[in-house]
Structures are given as structure tokens and as C-alpha cells.
Structure 1
Amino acid sequence: MALSDTKLRSLHGKPYSGSPEVADGDGLGVRVSPKGVITFQYRYRWQGKASRITLGRYPALSLKDARTLTADLRVMYDRDIDPRTHFEKSAGEAVMTVADCLDYWNEHYVTVSLRPATQILYQTTLIRLMRDAFPGRPAADVSVKQWVDLFAKEEQINPRRARQLLAQMRSAISWCIRRQVIESCAVMRVSPRDVGVRSEIGSRVLTYPELAQIWVAIERSRAATSNKLLHQMLILWGARVSELRLAERKEFDLESGIWTVPKEHSKMGNVIRRPIFKQIVPLLEKAMLTYDQILFPGAEITQPITMAAANRYILRIREGLELSYWRAHDFRRTLVTRLSEEGVAPHVTERMLGHELGGVMSVYNKHDWLEDQRQAYELHAEKLMWHVRKLSG
């Protein structure tokens, strides 16, 4: 019978007189001591002999993580590699500090498995802010109280970021535990719900007069042309920032009037096609005339503007306006909400956002409704420009 979190919780830390070993599947099982100490084990046969590997103790190692680790070991076994080599450590290996764990996680997981935008997110938040926590101390020796105190300080700076940092730290440390880089770490006993506050789901929908104020502020700002064009086109297209920020000249076919976002720049890993409509053509042509292959360069002309630079620019624009809090991502919600008010069909607005359609339609219906998108974009731009002209006099 497979293990479950409910069963493990019922056994953990309580007197136990049942079978000392309880199997799960694929060689994974637990050994339960008379005092309720639960240890995950992986059993297999190697060269005709029974072998057993201790994976870690519950709850420092969760059932989910133990199953993930077992799957990794099964892959090694199927490739005729002794799973025990996964845990071998060289003599005199240094004890892992928090910095060592984050560096190892970054090198072997973040930069290998994650998309560039996500890599940058982790490297500029968790790794930058937490790498120097408890310098020189083994990660396994840091107490729960010390972790709580650390995140309490982060709460005073930014409550939402504090909870995000804890969640990211737990994810990184959990990965290291599963791969036996460290055996345990007290941060896994700190619950995210006890730190900071949860990030709110965005709900801001701008009005056209508010969009016009932002448009004019961008137009009048002293900033690089690439930054100004990037954000004005985000208002009109409702694209994700990175879809446009990373865009190259070759993605835009002015003759057929189509912008094709490659899957490498898409959050969902899908190709997105949007029409190049009449109001956005002058902005796009200006970018093409001013720059080369990278249409929205940053400090280096051959590299796209960074997300940090784009965020700093929006911060400056926002601080100069007397509007309730907004961010660039709200342009997407605003586009869809205002066009829905005008009767534009949901399947069209979903394609404008770059979303796949739900259910069976996502499998069989690959139509983009480009002409319907074009008409909707032109309606959105027309209403916005009417307010821009009114505001500008």
C-alpha cells in the first residue's frame, strides 16, 4: 500500500509497534523506529546483492521530494549506474554554507533547467539578497529562530518580498536536500504563511484618461527612445514585457502585417502571432530606423534593455503622476477589459494576450483570428489617442 502524507503524519513522533518498514513503490519505503522516527530508504539490487540507501528523515524530506529523488535514482539504475554514486562525497569535502547551497542550486538547476527570464529573477532576488546570510556557517547549523529573525528583518523592508524570498529559499534548499548536498536545514520548518503577506492577484484596470496620462508622461520623459517606445507599444499591444523587450527585427513582417513572437520569448512556450495594426506602425518603424536587430536595446546597443531598467523607468513615470498604483502588466488587463466592454469576443482577446484557448480548442483550434485582432487593436488605439489629443490640447 502506497504511503501518504496523512499516514506519515499519524506515525511521526509517536510510539510505534507495527512493522518497522513500510513500502511505497519503485523501491521507496520508510523505516519507522519505536519512537516514531521516520527515515526514507531506497532499496534495489546491484550485481545480485540487495542494497539500501538512506535518503533522509521525514518531515525534513517530504514524501513528494522523496519520490522525486527516487525517480532520479531509478533513472540512474536503468542506465546501469549504481545509485549509491549519487551520494558519494570526496574525502575532506567542505560543509555546505547557505552561499554554497545557493551557488550549487544556481549552477546545477537554475542555469540548466529554467528560462532566462526566470534565471534572472532568482539571481536578482534570492541569490543576491540571501547569499550572504549566515556567512561561513554550515546551513544545517542555522536554527529555526535565526531563520525567523532573518526574514523578520526582510518583513520590515518589504512584507510581500519577504514571503517570496522564504518560498524561494525553501525551494532551493529542498532541491539541495533531495540531492543530498545537505541532509537537513531548519528553514524547511518555517512556513511561508507565517512570514510577510501574500502577493495580491492584480485587479487594476486603467481608464482611457489614465492611459492617456501615462502615454503623455512617457512621451515627455527624458529617457532613451527604446524605453519610451517599448512602453508605448506595450500599452497598445498588451503584450508581456519580455515578449516585446526581447523582440528582434526579424520577428516583424511589415509586408504581411504580422508580429510573430517565438516560443523562446513566450512565457507559456507557445508561438504568438499578433497583427501589426495601423496606429502602431509609426512606432515600430521608428524603432527599426533607430536601432539594428535588437529593437529595444539598453546600455549596450547589442543587448535588450534589462527588466530592471524597464521597471525603474516605470517607477519614475508612476511617481510623477497622481494616479493610484499601477504597473506595466496592468496594460494587459486594461486592454482586455475595455475591449470586452466594447463587445470583442473572448476568444479574440485571449489570442491578443497570447493565451492558448481552453479545453479541446487548445488541441484542435490553432486559428489566430488576426483580422478580428487587428480591428480590436485599432479600436483600442483609436479610443486611447482621442484622450491623448484631448489631454495634449
Structure 2
Amino acid sequence: MALSDTKLRSISGKPYDGPSEITDAEGLSARITPTGTIAFQFRYRWEGKAVRLTVGRYPAMSLKDARIAVADMRELYGKGINPKSYFSSPGEDITLQNCLDEWWDKYVTGLRKNTQVLYRSVVYNTMYTQFKDSPVHSIPVSQWVRFFDKQEKENKKKARVLLIQLRSVINWCISRQLIPSCEVMKLSVKTVGKRSDVGTRVLTYSELAKVWLALENSKIHSSNRILHQLLLLWGSRLSEMRLATISDFNMDDMIWTTPSSISKMGNVIRRPIFSHVEPYIERLINNGNHVLFPGMELDKPIDRSSSNLYMAKLRGSIDLPEWRTHDFRRSLVTNLSSEGVPPHVTEKMLGHELGGVMAVYNKHEWMREQREAYELYADKILWNVEKIKNG
């Protein structure tokens, strides 16, 4: 039977020979001694074991307050947090796993898919099983140091990225008062691992021509080849091109629009469809697939690993100093700058937002100037292609 204030008042402080426990609802019950001492308790299971947690004593705690407390505990339980933390200081029993779950559910799920994949592959998957049973605020800095020492031995660059992302998670949890503090915040990013190398490779027109010829002569007849030919001429990011669909290409106005959902910075990017790439785009559209560069399945784009593997094999066939696909972007900007193309145009070609006041007020995209720059760049590369062929 459910509890009531009338029932509890009739029992409290008086000799009692009835049931030792009276249940209410939602796991709340009242334990009663023969002398009439009443204790509210919350019953639940944790890690496969039955737990009986004392909530308070009647009449110091009213029945109404006991029900409110149990409702709060059930909410914690639903989040995977042990209800006993209700009586602790904020965050006292919250583990790193709890922090990661809260951060993921309430913050990361609202980010772009590419960013979610990055966070999951680095910080979420790596840290989820670490310090599993320890309240995150009580992990001493010495343990964090030992952990990152081990990470450094495996991969110095990843160790630094991992710390940067973990600090971001912890800072989010602290700002929302899930935990009071965490000793990992005492670790300086500069003292852990090393930062990723800043690329410096710029391919000359003749080197770009050699890559173009290698692509042209590739025996692998897949959309991977056209994908990388277009990357070389357009200088876009791999994901912007790889995930492109037919609907992104306006063949009336000759504009390729990359939606914010797949651009790295979350901005809409508009680039001209210039004469050198037009026949390739028309051919891809005429294939009738919504996905422009399908992989093994026609309705799904080439995955990143397949794309990287394709170019790794291609690099081995070309006698050039080490280079990467991402170097196409740097090569485009550097070579066009030497041709006198102004920075605001090359920044738009890369898909970057302009800085300062211009980012707020100037929404012009210099489409004509972009088109002229792309035409110039492609002409230079293809002229070198013919030179090598006739050479």
C-alpha cells in the first residue's frame, strides 16, 4: 500500500508490530522499527546487485520531500550515475565515462557529422575505458602524467591532440557544474607530445602535371581517378568533393555549392564550374547517380580510406619528392599568388571565410575573379602536361 502522512504520523515514535517495510512507488519505501523509528529508503539495482539507500528519517524529512529526492535519484540512475551521488558534493562520484556520455549527448550530437567522427575516433573511444571506477575529480595529476607518458610513446602527435580534446570535454563538464574540478587541467598542452606538422610542400606546375598524367594513365577505372583530378584543379578539401551530390551542381549558373553540413568550418562554399572541369561534371551527372563519386555501392560515396589508399599507390608510381593530396590546396594558392591573384580571391577558392569586418559585412564571392584564376591555373597545369607528353 502507498504511504501517507496520516499513516506515518500514527506510527512515528510509538510501539509498532506491523510490517517492517511499507512500499510507496518508484522504489521508495519506509523501513519501520518496533520502536516506531521510520527511515525512507530508495531501492534499486547497481552493477547487478540490489541496493537499499537511506534517503532520510521521518519526521525530519517529510513524505513529500522523500518523493522529490527519489525522483531526482531516479533521474541520475537513468543517466547511468549511481543514485548515491545525490548525497555527495556536485560531481563527487561522476566518472570520466559519465562525463564523456554527458558531453556527447548534450554537445557533440549537435555538431557536424565529420566533427562527431573526429571526436569519437580520438577522445571518446580512447578515454571511455580509462579510470573507469574513479570519480574524475579525484584522479591525481600524477596518474594523468603517467597516462599521457604512455600515449606519447605510442604516438606523440596523437597524444597532444588527445589532451586538447580531453581538456575541452572536462572544461565543458566543469562549466555545467557536473564536476567541481579535474587535475588533468593542470597539464599544459605544450608539454605533452608534439603538435602536428604544418605542411610546407608546394607542387610546381610541372609536378602537378606529372600527377595529372599519372591519374590519367591509371589503370584503375573508378570514380577515384576523376575525384582526384578535380581535387587537383579545384583545390577543395577531400570531404567537400568526395561527399558531393548532383544537387550541389547548378549547371545553369555554373556554380558548385558545398553545403555547410559537409564543409569543415560549417560555412556554405560556392565555387565556379569553369571550362576545364565542366565536361567531367557533366559526365558524372549523366551517370544518373545522386552521389557523384560512388564507392562499392552506387548510393554511397567513396570512403576516405579507399581514397587515401588509391593515392598512396599512385604516389609510389611517380618520381616526386613526398607529397599529399592536401598539398593541392597549398599549391593552388601559392602558385596563383605568384601570378598576382589577390588573397581575398584565393581565400574564397579555398572555402575560407574572410577575417575581421569583411567576414561580417562583405558577402561578395568574387565569382568572376575565381573563375579567371581557376582557368589560369588549369591552363598552366595542362600546358605542362602537353609539354611532358611531347617532351
Output the TM-score relative to the length of structure 2. Answer: 0.69
Cα displacement (A) at 1:281: 1.7
Flag the 1:289–1:200 CA change in 2: closer, same or farther, 3 A. same
8 A Cα contact 1:210 1:323, kept in partner: yes
Aligned position for 2:369: 372
Corresponding residue to 1:122 among 101, 119, 122: 119
Q: Residue by residue, what CA displacement relative to the aligned partner does 1:299-354 show, whole Å, maximum 9, x if unpaired?
A: 44323334444344444444554544433322122111111212223332232222
CA–CA distance in structure 2, aligned partners of residues 180 and 299 of structure 1 = 47
Aligned position for 2:324: 327
| 1:89-100 alignment, distance < 5 Å | 89=76, 91-92=83-84, 95-100=93-98
8 A Cα contact 2:112 2:262, kept in partner: no
Could you say what secondary structure the match of 1:263 adopts? coil
Could you say what secondary structure the match of 1:92 adopts? helix
CA–CA distance in structure 2, aligned partners of residues 318 and 149 of structure 1 = 39
Q: Residue by residue, what CA displacement relative to the aligned partner does 1:269-322 show, whole Å, maximum 9, x if unpaired?
A: 433322111111222123223351111233443233344443444444445545
Structure 1: 5+ residue stretches without partners: 1-84
Corresponding residue to 2:143 among 130, 143, 146: 146
Aligned position for 1:22: none
Aligned position for 1:340: 337
8 A Cα contact 1:248 1:293, kept in partner: yes
Corresponding residue to 1:180 among 174, 177, 181: 177
Could you say what secondary structure the match of 2:301 adopts? coil
Cα displacement (A) at 1:362: 3.8
| 1:150-229 alignment, distance < 5 Å | 150-221=147-218, 225-229=222-226
| 1:1-393 alignment, distance < 5 Å | 89=76, 91-92=83-84, 95-112=93-110, 114-221=111-218, 225-290=222-287, 292-392=289-389
Q: Is the deviation greater in 125-134 or in 317-326? A: 317-326
Cα displacement (A) at 1:379: 1.5
CA–CA distance in structure 1, aligned partners of residues 239 and 192 of structure 2 = 30
Output the TM-score relative to the length of structure 1. Answer: 0.69
CA–CA distance in structure 1, aligned partners of residues 143 and 220 of structure 2 = 44
Rg larger in 1 or in 2?
A: 2
CA–CA distance in structure 1, aligned partners of residues 119 and 188 of structure 2 = 20
Cα displacement (A) at 1:381: 1.1
8 A Cα contact 2:246 2:285, kept in partner: yes
Aligned position for 1:70: none
Cα displacement (A) at 1:233: 0.9
Structure 1 letter corresponding to 2:173: C
Structure 1 letter corresponding to 2:99: C
Flag the 1:345–1:223 CA change in 2: closer, same or farther, 3 A. same
CA–CA distance in structure 2, aligned partners of residues 183 and 364 of structure 1 = 41
Cα displacement (A) at 1:236: 0.5
Could you say what secondary structure the match of 1:260 adopts? strand
Q: Is the deviation greater in 327-336 or in 133-142? A: 133-142
Could you say what secondary structure the match of 1:265 adopts? coil
Flag the 1:327–1:191 CA change in 2: closer, same or farther, 3 A. same
Structure 1 letter corresponding to 2:185: M
What is the root-mean-square deviation of aligned Cα atoms in Å? 2.9
Q: Residue by residue, what CA displacement relative to the aligned partner does 1:33-56 show, whole Å, maximum 9, x if unpaired?
A: xxxxxxxxxxxxxxxxxxxxxxxx
CA–CA distance in structure 2, aligned partners of residues 194 and 333 of structure 1 = 29
8 A Cα contact 2:274 2:374, kept in partner: yes
CA–CA distance in structure 2, aligned partners of residues 96 and 227 of structure 1 = 47
8 A Cα contact 1:229 1:287, kept in partner: no
Structure 2: 5+ residue stretches without partners: 1-71, 78-82, 87-92
CA–CA distance in structure 2, aligned partners of residues 166 and 252 of structure 1 = 40
Cα displacement (A) at 1:211: 1.7
Could you say what secondary structure the match of 1:274 adopts? strand
